[in-house]
Structure 1
Amino acid sequence: MNGFIFHPLKNKTLSCLSRKFISSAALIEVPSIEYGEYHSSKLKPLDLFTIPTNLRGLTLQETKLVHTILLKTGELISNIVASNNLLDCYSEISRMNCAFQLFEEIPEPNLVTWNLMILGCNKNSLFDDSWRVFCQLYRRRVCIDEFTYGSVLSACSALERVARGEQVYGLVMKNGFFSNGYVRAGMIDLFSRSRRMDDALRVLHDVHCENVVCWNAVVTGAVKNNENWVALETFSRMCSHDSLIPNSFTFSSALTACAALEELNFGKSIQGRVIKSGAGADVFVGTATVDLYAKCGDMYDAMKQFKLMPVCNVVSWTAIISGFAHKGDLFSAVLVLDEMRKTGVDMNHYTVSSVLAACAISAMFNEATQIHCLILKIGFCSNSVVKSSLITMYSKVGAINSSEVAFSETHDLKQVGIWNNMISAYAQNNVYEKAIILCKGMLELGIAPDQISTSSILSIIDSLTLGRQLHVYTLKSGLVSDVSVGSSILTMYSKCGELEESLKSFEQLETKDNITWTSMIAGFAEHGCADKAVHMFKDMFKEYTIDEMSLTAVLMACSALKSIKLGREIHGYSFRCGFDEQSIGRALLNMYSKCGDLNSAKIVFHMILFKDQVSFSTLISGFCQRGLIQVALELFHDMLLFGTSIDEFTISSILGALASLNKSAIGIQLHAHVIKLGLESESSVGSSLIMMYSKHGSIGDCDKVFKQIKNPDLVSWTTMIASYAQHGKGSEALEVYNLMKKSGIEPDSITFVGVLSACCHTGLVEEGYFHFNSMIKDYGIEPGHKHYTCMVDLLGRAGRLEEAERFIMNMHIEPDILIWETLLACCKVHGNHELGKLAAEKIMSSQPSDAGAYISLSNICADVGEWDRVLKIRGSMKEIGAKKKEPGWSFV
């Protein structure tokens, strides 16, 4: 057997292995061992296997050869040190199956053997096997040390099995290892990964701890769990102990927490400690410092710190690029990317994603396409993160077709994130049908939509049937417990007008957050239940922290209720909480405008630093609604001077106000500006123009404007019908009505007022009856006072007064004064004194102070020679104080 070992002629591989061992022996000053000197050497060749460094870096074939030697020599059974080293060698080359086989062959494994097995399983991510080995060790009642506990806690942490970890930590406490830093750090990491920072802190403070690793574990765990204030508080406590010296790992984590919170002053104080400790040269600390300044928007100091770094890695470059993109300095972000490429630093997918985020505006579309070409060139296009960023970037600039191309080029369609981004892109661009089709495609490929894709689909659904189907899917898949999905379900039911279903879903949610509450409040406010929205806000106020979104939602309810008192209270509360007018300015502006407090609205408007299109439009609309058209026009002029883009809402408000004034010249100028902006095809603008020209008597211009509207909506059709009717063009009005029905748009109650008015002006009695009955039977619209008035006027003008009287008596609602006044006017025209007396008496009984009814009745009595009654009526007028109409006069 001795001749077999290290004999150069037996096996070439064995000879190479022999030379490796001889070389290793030389490093520790052991003389070379030749074949003939085996017995004369003081150190046997097999003893070299007991030195761990001699077995590092072996291949699988070489490791098996050593295994064979140990078997042949019998050392595998007798030499536990050599066996442990071989076991470690198998774990290093990721052959745990061989390690387990060897482990079973060792007759009496010691604690080192067990620890090596647990550690090897951890290294190869076999964490369940780590737990199984530990359980076997525990059952054999082997004396366990801190390395065992630390390793098995690492396995529990990777598996996020808190219950197992707590069992182990119980043994730790029982056996007196709770003060060991390695063990405590493992338990802290377990609690941190399981999002139980309170328990992690309790482990840290169970006993006085001077181990920096444990403190670092808490700081890092808190940052990973987005509990950044906990991280900074722990860091501050750590710095208060003289025996605890933060290292570069501590500093980088604390600076990351400051960056997440945008706490620049706190971060600067940490940077001071970094400089004092001499850790500023560390690349991770330097990168965290750059990221801090970038996240806080201080790009000057971020660049300054970046240039001071001795070595800049890809993370540092990405932090700078992301900072410029976040601040909106997109040109600088692209320039930094170009500089990065010149220095030879390779980009990663995060760098590319940051640049694509910077290019997500229309003005940077050319740069975006160039970066897309660069992505194709360097081979990042297959990366799922980059692919998602491409889809999102193109969708934000409105190039949804390019998003579709990027999605279609995806090779790995099993990535649910890619589908999510494409569905979100469709949702943001209101491409409802394609989003639904894509969701169905996911299901057909066996890819289950997650909370992101489900929330995106639910956010755009306005079909109650489809919405309920998706609701059922969330119940079956368990997604309904996700807060974002739950909020989307509430929003979906609210959009569909099912507020009871929305409230029911809200009450069934196990977990509620600010977004959920805000969604419910906004749903009530938007759908005519503003009082319930306010009540819900008060309930939320008792249990949750109010944020800008919830304040915006309740201010919307105040606008609907026109409750200026409550609106001012909420404004005061927002001021005390530190919310400035910039964050909730739009909602405050809308509330004050809707409530008629235009002075307060102007104050809020001037306090908003960045006045956008919505801010201007809201205030202009408020002035227009109050008839202050001159002030509205001045504000509109300022809007043009500031270069703020004009939308159809602003133009419609101005035109609607001009319609009631004799300002045709200004209206024509605005029409020219509308054409210049390309808004003449918008239905809301077209409707306002039609109304304006109609009020000014230009029915021909109304017709021209109507024909320019690309897709007329119900308001546009109704406005055109009413314009024709008011100008005595009943036939044209009815023709437009028929065209509207052919286009698939159903009329509402206001449309039928215009249709009946057209019949009235044209004397089309039978057509009037037909449309009146059609309104009830075909469209389920209950007639209101305006509809009945039109019919009475139609019958009265046609001289069918008795029929008009019967029509009034058969009404399903109580006739108002306008109906009787209409009948009275028709009686005067056709000389029906008896019916006229009845109508006048009805008016006087409802409104005793109406002088017009007394005069009309007096004139009727005078026409038939009833002078005694005339005198009596005149006397009654004086008794009740009804004044005659003031006579006209002139200077001529």
Structure 2
Amino acid sequence: MKRFFNADMKRTSLPPNPFHLFNHPTLNRKPTTVTETRTIHAHIIKALPLHSDLFIANSLADSYCKSGAMDDALLLLDEIPHPNHISWNLMISRFIQRLQYDGSFRIFRRMHSNGFEPNQVTCGSILSACAASQSLHFGKQVFSLVMKNGFFSDGYVSTALVDLFAKSASFGDALRVFSEVSNQNVVCWNAAIAGGVRNKDNWAALHLFCQMIDENLMPNGFTFSSVLTACAALRELEVGRGIHGWVIKCGAGDDIFVGTSIVDLYAKCGDVNEAARAFSMMPEHNVVSWTAIISSFVQMADSVNALKFFKQMKEIGTDMNEFTITSMLTACAKPVMAYVGIQMHCLILKSGFLMDCAVKDSLINMYVRTGEVGLSEKVFDEIRCVKDVSTWAVMISGLAQSEDSTRSVELFKRMAREGLRPDKFCSSSVLSVIGCLALGKQIHSYVLKAGLVVDVSVASALFTMYSKCDNLDDAYEVFKQMPEKDTVSWTSMIAGFAEHGNADQAFCLFREMIFEQIRPDYMTLSAILMACSVLRSLQKGKEIHGYALRVGIGPETLLCGALVNMYSKCRTLVSARRVFDAMPQKDQISWSSLVSGYAQNGYIEDALLQFRQMLIYGMEIDCFTISSVLGVSATLTRAGLGKQLHAYSVKIGLDSDLSVSSSLIAMYSKCGSIDDSRRVFDQIERPDLVTWTTMIDGYAQHGQGVEALKIYEMMREEGIQPDSVTFVAVLSACSHNGLVEEGYLYLNSMVKNYGIAPEACHYACMVDLLSRSGRLEEAASFIDKMSIKPDALVWGTLLGACRVHGNVELGKLAAEKVLELEPCDPGAYVLLSNFYAEVGDWEEVLKIRSLMKGVGVRKEPGWSFV
């Protein structure tokens, strides 16, 4: 007890002055312990009755609170005969400081039930406790008491009310309270602005800040931190720069929280250089500011600089938190950073962060993205004893991203077997990789039973699954039953219709979306432009383009790529090139679409020039681009160019792609090198239907019908089902080799074995086969018995055969049918004119030429590359 007395205190038997104890500087330098406080309490009891000096009683209660003896403080409060406002407010505030909000509520109720009316300080304190604990119901009761006692205009009370409503997700009530009080309290303004940020009404927060400036109130560090956070959330860089200017003007730049908010602003707005500059100017850094600058580099996919700043942070001894670790794991989530990711894993184990949910989920995700799915499963198996659904969701999502549908579904089932209920994230992830309709329906049953189908992400994944399984009716039914539809769900359904050739339904859905006042984004417009490409509808495509420009959606690379593709498919290459040239950043998709557009529309030189430009600019070449340019080589019959492209595709590893292989087979075939086509074919491990068909067609065009039919039989033995295009190639092979009986056999096989109804092209092949064999009358009889009405192609085939064999009567019949079906086709007139010239009927030749002039038909002049 000696340290509680002054040096001039006389050592007498009299007890010390209790008032002197609570004012002694030595005592106030360090909080008293519980034992010391009880000792003082004992001296006070000996010296004078406790109720004789209310200040000493309150001070003693405060000392108990500071030492953590809250029960002793409450007992002392009960002993005070007439506690005052200070007594009650002191106890309430100390409970709040120790985050014991329920204790502060109990004291407030006791105070009120004892008939002691609270004052402004009491109400403000208890409202702050309600805000911190988000006890809105009790806060509203206190609000009623505030109104009754007339404390509403008090700055402390009104600030607490604004804070309460803002933190309880009642920002509208917070604004009403704020607007009804006229005060010049910066703290109240800060509460309102912070409330807007908390409730994601960032524009309201910025508007309040402007009002605050207009009221000539000087913002402080808390104000700047809040409005800078609002600018970062809105990606409003220019507004943020203006706030930064205010920070400098007010001298608040040294505040560590303001500095961190500035770094975060520039980082989220993509200006990483300015973020680094702001970080370097901060006089002091904490873990939050370090994490902000690291995250800025991660956001810009600059893993090297993210790692550099992380190392600097560790070197100066700043402790990392879970946000720092998750940011670094995101930086390491690429194959080239796999080794650093393993080092981060070791650091996580050493620092004890592995059991943090966000960290372990990021660790699993990092291994998945680096291609180390095995390691991600190992991490998962080590920590899956923790019944954390989010971790299972990350693992299932990782397997889904790796397109490992089997293990993803198996993990989903195992999760259910272990007594965990898969959530919306697990369900949507596993639905995204299901390609089996039966299994998809089972998952559909589960999400219905679990009540997850009302979630937008699950429902969207569900109808996307049905769409992927070619079940558009069920997909659309799920879509219609969704209680809420966001832009993503509308876009997915529109894309589903467009991808499956139902362009008209895609347009109807797009119009419905507009009527529902849901604004399409660039992804939606890209999907509907795909429908325009399917329909080759230039008018609709232009309307979508105009809408995008009108609503301010335009510079996005994906939308520009869709526009280039649409204009190319609609054969408007000038517009396609204009959109392409206006793109701020050209990507591989748009460039490939332009090359393909030029190639498919006969602009061979432009196609090759653009392909060359892609190579010069170091643009990634995909299989789609290579296939398009190989098609140009085939058109030019330039095997040298084709061989160069073949070598290039081998170099970049695209020769194993089936579309490229098919294009190579077709190119070599059209260039007259069927042996090279076969060599390419034999190197393919698992040919698909297109590849088999291309090889059959190649042999057919080279007159090697027997080899073509051998390839067809090999295809059947491999279990590949032929389609209508395959049978065109097979019948063409029969035609080029006079295999009449085989031709009839394969034509009948189409319907009997595969349920494929013959089309005009198949019948034309049979007519050609019969005609080449000199069986013209049988060909004419065959045409009469066709199950569909013969078109100009069929009659034209017969006409050409009649010209070769000199059958005038049958030739005239075929000619009349051709002109009847296609009166404006110059090819039909030329064919008919040549026919009459061959048989020496020059009067008919003159009539045909006169008829061409009468209907305005002109023969296009011939041209050659030779």
TM-score, normalising length from structure 1? 0.82
Q: Does structure 1 residue 530 correspond to structure 2 residue 503?
A: yes
Q: Distance in 2 between matches of 1:397 and 1:794?
A: 57
The verdict on how the C-alpha distance between 1:335 and 1:100 changes in structure 2, with shifts beyond 3 A counting, is: same
- Give the corresponding residue for 1:248: 221
Query: Which of residues 599, 606, 611 is equivalent to 2:574?
Result: 599
Q: Which residue of 1 aligns with 2:401?
A: 428
Match of residue 523 from structure 2: 549
The 10-residue stretch of structure 1 (505-514 or 346-355) with the greater mean CA deviation from structure 2: 505-514
- Cα deviation digits, residues 327-370 of structure 1 (max 9, x gap): 34332222222222222222223223323333334444444444
Offset at residue 631 of structure 1 (A): 1.2
Q: Deviation per CA, 1:431-485: give whole Å up to 9, x if none.
A: 2222222222332333333333333333333333333443444444443443333
- Measure how far apart 1:547 and its partner are: 3.3
**1:715 CA drift (Å):** 1.2
Quick check: 2:833–2:849 contact (8 Å CA) kept in 1?
Answer: no
Q: Is the 8 A contact 1:683 1:710 kept in 2?
A: no
Asked if 2 retains the 8 angstrom alpha-carbon contact of 1:156 and 1:165, the reply is: yes
Contact 1:251 1:270 in 2 (8 A): yes
Alignment CA distance shift 1:191-1:512 (3 Å): farther
Name which of structure 1's ranges 687-696 and 844-853 shifts more when overlaid on structure 2.
844-853
Cα distance per residue 1:828-853 (max 9 Å; x no partner): 88898887776566556545785578
CA distance in 1, matches of 2:599, 2:469: 31
Query: Which of residues 639, 658, 671 in structure 2 aligns to 1:683?
Result: 658
Equivalent residue in structure 2 for 1:815, among 787, 790, 793:
790
Is 1:322 aligned with 2:275? Answer: no
Tell me what 1:666 maps to. Answer: 641
Counterpart pick for 1:751 among 726, 747, 757: 726
Partner of 1:270: 243
Q: Which residue of 1 aligns with 2:279?
A: 306
Change (3 A) 1:386 1:847: closer
**SS of the counterpart of 1:660?**
helix
> 1:105-184 counterparts in 2 under 5 A?
143-146=117-120, 149-150=123-124, 153-154=127-128, 157=131, 160=134, 162=136, 165-184=139-158
Per-residue deviation, 1:405: 3.7
Could you say if the C-alpha distance between residues 344 and 603 of structure 1 is closer, same or farther in structure 2, counting changes exceeding 3 Å? Answer: same
In structure 2, give the amino acid aligned to 1:211.
Answer: N
**Deviations for 1:732-752, whole angstroms, at most 9, x for unmatched residues?**
333323333343432222122
For the Cα contact (< 8 Å) 2:16–2:43, is it kept in 1? no
Provide the rounded CA distance (Å) in 1 between the counterparts of 2:784 and 2:100: 89
The one-letter code sitting in structure 2 at the alignment partner of 1:289 is I
Which residue matches 1:725?
A: 700
Deviation track 1:76-115 (CA, whole Å, cap 9, x = no partner) reads 9999999999998998888999999999999999988887
Q: C-alpha displacement at 1:152, in angstroms?
A: 5.3
Change (3 A) 1:853 1:515: closer
Shift, 1:626, TM fit: 0.9
* CA gap 1:466/1:200 in 2 versus in 1, 3 angstroms: farther
Q: Which residue of 2 aligns with 1:648?
A: 623
1:619, CA displacement in angstroms? 1.0
Aligned partners of 1:581 and 1:604 also within 8 Å: no
Match status 1:706 vs 2:681:
yes
Q: 2 CA distance for matches of 1:791 and 1:391?
A: 60
Alpha-carbon offset, residue 627 of structure 1? 0.8
Partners of 2:804 and 2:22 lie apart in 1 by 130
Q: Cα offset for 1:705?
A: 0.8
- The one-character-per-residue Cα deviations of 1:129-166 (angstroms, maximum 9, x if unpaired) are 87788778777776344455445545654665655544
Match of 2:256 in 1: 283
- Structure 1 pair 139–433 and aligned structure 2 pair: CA distance change class (3 A): farther
Deviation track 1:585-604 (CA, whole Å, cap 9, x = no partner) reads 22222222222222222232
**Which structure 1 residue ranges, 5 or more long, are not aligned?**
1-18
- For 1:236, the equivalent position in structure 2 comes to 210
Q: How far, CA to CA, are the matches of 2:349 and 2:590 in structure 1?
A: 42
Question: Which residue does the alignment assign to 1:349?
Answer: 322
The residue identity in structure 2 corresponding to 1:817 is A
Provide, for residues 541-598 of structure 1, a one-character-per-residue CA deviation record: whole Å limited to 9, x for no partner.
4524443333333333333333334434444444455445354322222222222222
User: Paired residue for 1:333?
Assistant: 306
Aligned to 1:479, the other structure's residue is in SS state: coil
TM-fit CA distance, 1:525: 2.9
The answer (yes or no) to whether the contact 2:562–2:590 under 8 Å persists in 1 is no
Aligned equivalents of 2:374, 2:637: Cα separation in 1: 47
Q: Indicate how the Cα distance of structure 1 residues 702 and 135 shifts in structure 2: closer, same or farther if over 3 A, else same.
A: farther
Question: Per-residue deviation at 1:520?
Answer: 3.1
Corresponding residue of 1:448: 421
**Structure 1 residues 315 and 706: CA distance shift in structure 2, 3 A:** same
Does the alignment pair 1:224 with 2:222? Answer: no
Deviation at 1:871, TM superposition (A): 10
State the AA in 2 paired with 1:622.
G
Once residues 549 and 802 of structure 2 are traced to their aligned partners in structure 1, the CA distance between those partners, rounded to angstroms, is: 63
- Classify the secondary structure of the residue corresponding to 2:432: helix
Displacement of 1:44 in angstroms is 11
Q: CA deviation at 1:540?
A: 3.7
What SS does the aligned partner of 2:360 have? helix
Instruction: Name the structure 2 match of 1:657.
Output: 632
Deviates more, 1:443-452 or 1:629-638: 443-452
- Pick closer, same or farther for the CA change 1:592–1:877 going to 2, 3 Å: closer
Indicate the residue corresponding to 1:562 in structure 2. Answer: 536
Segments of structure 2 that go 5 or more residues without pairing to the other structure are: none
Is the aligned partner of 1:261 residue 2:213? no
More displaced 10-residue stretch of structure 1: 582-591 or 229-238:
582-591
Compared with structure 1, are the counterparts of its residues 541 and 286 closer, same or farther at alpha carbon in structure 2 (3 Å cutoff)?
A: same
1-side partners of 2:717 and 2:61: how far apart? 84
SS in 2 for 1:680: coil
Structure 1 residues 560 and 853, CA, compared in 2 at 3 Å: closer, same or farther? closer
Counterpart amino acid of residue 383 in structure 2 = T
Distance, in Å, in 1 between the alignment partners of 2:493 and 2:72 is 60
Q: Please give the alpha-carbon distance, in whole angstroms, between the structure 2 residues aligned to 1:477 and 1:446.
A: 14
CA distance in 2, matches of 1:62, 1:339: 46
Q: Is residue 2:444 matched to residue 1:467?
A: no
- One-letter amino acid of the counterpart of residue 233, structure 2: A
* Contact in 1 for aligned 2:503/2:531 (Cα 8 Å): yes
SS of 2:383's equivalent in the other structure is: coil
Deviation at 1:707, TM superposition (A): 1.8
Q: Distance in 2 between matches of 1:720 and 1:98?
A: 94
Aligned partner of residue 636 in structure 2, secondary structure? coil
Letter matched to residue 592 of structure 1 = Y
Q: What is the CA–CA distance in structure 1 between the aligned matches of 2:833 and 2:280, rounded to whole Å?
A: 92
Per the TM alignment, residue 202 of structure 1 is displaced from its structure 2 partner at its CA by: 1.5
Partners of 1:418 and 1:509 in 2: how far apart?
A: 27
Taking only the aligned residue pairs, the percentage that are identical comes to 48
Equivalent position of 1:613 in the other structure = 588
CA, structure 1 residues 714+130, in 2 after alignment: closer, same or farther (shift >3 Å)? farther
Aligned residues: 851
Distance in 2 of aligned mates of 1:186 and 1:763: 95
Moved more, 156-165 or 252-261: 156-165
Q: Aligned partners of 2:835 and 2:275: how far apart in 1? A: 87
